[in-house]
Structure 1
Amino acid sequence: MSYVLHAVVGDFDHLRSLSDDVPRAVVAPLRQRLGLLPVTDEIFDELTDARRESGPFTLMSPAFAERLKDWSRGGHLAYVEADFWGGDGSQAAALWENGRQSWGPEYASIPVGPPHEDWPINAVLARLGVVRTGALDLFDTVGFGQERDTEGWRRVGLHALDAADYDTWEAACRAKQEADARAAAERDRYIRRDDVPVVLDGRTVMQMLDIPPSPMVGAAIRHLQEVHLERGSLTRDQAAAELRRWAQS
């Protein structure tokens, strides 16, 4: 599977303000308040004179470098590229701050294997202030693995256009996660667990409660399984009594 990325990375709100002057530019939110401005060929042509220079970057020109210098006066930012196929590939990254290029460009051929902190993208993310989360490297900590190509990141940016700023986007994401969790919990109420025994089968439940085949049968069995987890095994009589109590509650 391939992975291709060409992007400017920096504070989400800062990049959003910069992209307002670039037609078709969007900023995709990352974790830890970062944003990613995917640099497509069209965006590159908007930002530069389209003359490309040789070097570690496939999308770079003197005019583009000058634009990055200007943008960095309002906050440090990075330009990153990655190109992988089947685990092998390459990365390149550089950092701009206070109107100058302060680090890089760094380039590395990346073999199959575990990530390293000194790989170019991890190294530049550390300079952007990213803090590692658990066992994840910085690349995955900010969420670079969510999409596989620059166009995918452009779609993410388009979906985030309604958010006025990073805090608004983050609050909307949190609300959606909570709503999804509630919906999943509600669905689980009607699904029998495969890992917990129950002494009454569906046919018996329908006969006892005088109900037809329906999601309520699954809910009844799931309730008995939850009771089993809380109190231990139930006899058939205990399960029947608990089922009647549950149906009347």
Structure 2
Amino acid sequence: MAYTLQAVIADGEALRAVARDLPAARLASIGQDLSLMPMTDVLFDSVADGSGVGALGFRRFPGGFERDLAAWSAGGPVAYVEAEYFGGAGEQRAAVWDGGTVVLGPLHVEEGQPFPPAGSPISQALRRLGAVAAAGQDEFSAVGLGRHRHGAAWIA
């Protein structure tokens, strides 16, 4: 089965404040007071500035979106994450902005590469957002990112 996720993740209250100005934004609460905003086609089109995609090594990152994330991070850390898996093989990307600048990443683990000792890119980003994992668990699991296999399912 496939797993795909392209989303902004941040403190739930902070992300709700951002979403008020984005009619295309849809939010979903995840664990530990965090929320995610899936990068839907409609949201992508509403935040893209026409300068292309793929900034910072991400596959589904609207042109100019890094300026939005930098602005949103003035009140606290904001992450952009991507994961794509099929049959257990895949890759992850993540970056975190805080205080207007990138403070983590962009991180990328390609298909077939092991995660570094610090954990997967998404777990590292979640840790930077304040997520805490229990023994024998990573931050990805701790906030429940495995509940849905596709980004759209979070807002269905």
TM-score (norm 2): 0.91
1:63 deviates by: 1.2
Report the Cα distance in structure 2 between the residues aligned to 1:8 and 1:54, rounded to whole angstroms: 15
Aligned counterpart, 1:119: 120
User: Cα distance, 1:48 vs. partner?
Assistant: 1.7
In the other structure, the counterpart of 1:132 is: 133
Aligned length: 155
SS of residue matched to 1:4: strand
Aligned amino acid, residue 17 of structure 1: A
Question: What amino acid is the match of 1:48?
Answer: A
Corresponding residue SS for 1:43:
helix
State yes or no: 1:4 paired with 2:4. Answer: yes
Partner of 1:238: none
| TM-score scaled by length of structure 1 | 0.58
Q: RMSD of aligned C-alpha atoms?
A: 2.0
Q: What is the 5 A alignment of 1:105-184? A: 105-111=106-112, 117-155=118-156
Determine if the alignment matches structure 1 residue 58 to structure 2 residue 65: no
Q: Distance in 2 between matches of 1:137 and 1:121?
A: 10
- State the identity %: 37
Matched, 1:44 2:44: yes
1:1-249 equivalences in 2 (<5 Å): 1-50=1-50, 51-53=52-54, 55-111=56-112, 117-155=118-156
- Note the alpha carbon deviations across 1:98-139, whole angstroms, 9 max, x for none: 111112111102449899642111111111111112322110
Q: Which structure has greater strand proportion?
A: 2
Give the number of the structure whose alpha-carbon radius of gyration is greater. Answer: 1
Counterparts of 1:154 and 1:138, CA distance in 2? 21
Native 8 Å contact 2:28 2:36 kept in 1? yes
Separation in structure 2 between the aligned mates of residue 53 and residue 121 of structure 1, nearest angstrom: 18
Cα distance in structure 1, aligned partners of 2:112 and 2:139: 18
Kindly indicate whether structure 1 or structure 2 has the higher relative contact order, using CA contacts under 8 Å at least 6 residues apart.
2
1:217-248 per-residue CA deviation (whole Å, 9 max, x = no partner) reads xxxxxxxxxxxxxxxxxxxxxxxxxxxxxxxx
Distance 1:130 1:41 in 2: 28
Query: Which amino acid in the other structure matches residue 106 of structure 2?
Result: P
- Matches of 2:117 and 2:36 in 1, distance apart? 22
Secondary structure of 2:7 counterpart: strand
Q: Which has the higher helix share?
A: 1
Asked if 2 retains the 8 angstrom alpha-carbon contact of 1:88 and 1:112, the reply is no
The answer for unaligned runs of 5 or more in structure 2 is none
Report if aligned partners of 1:87, 1:112 keep a CA contact under 8 Å in 2: no
Contact 1:115 1:137 (8 Å CA) reproduced: no
Give 4+ residue runs of structure 1 displaced > 2 Å after superposition: 53-56, 110-118
Contact 1:87 / 1:111 at 8 angstroms: preserved in 2? no
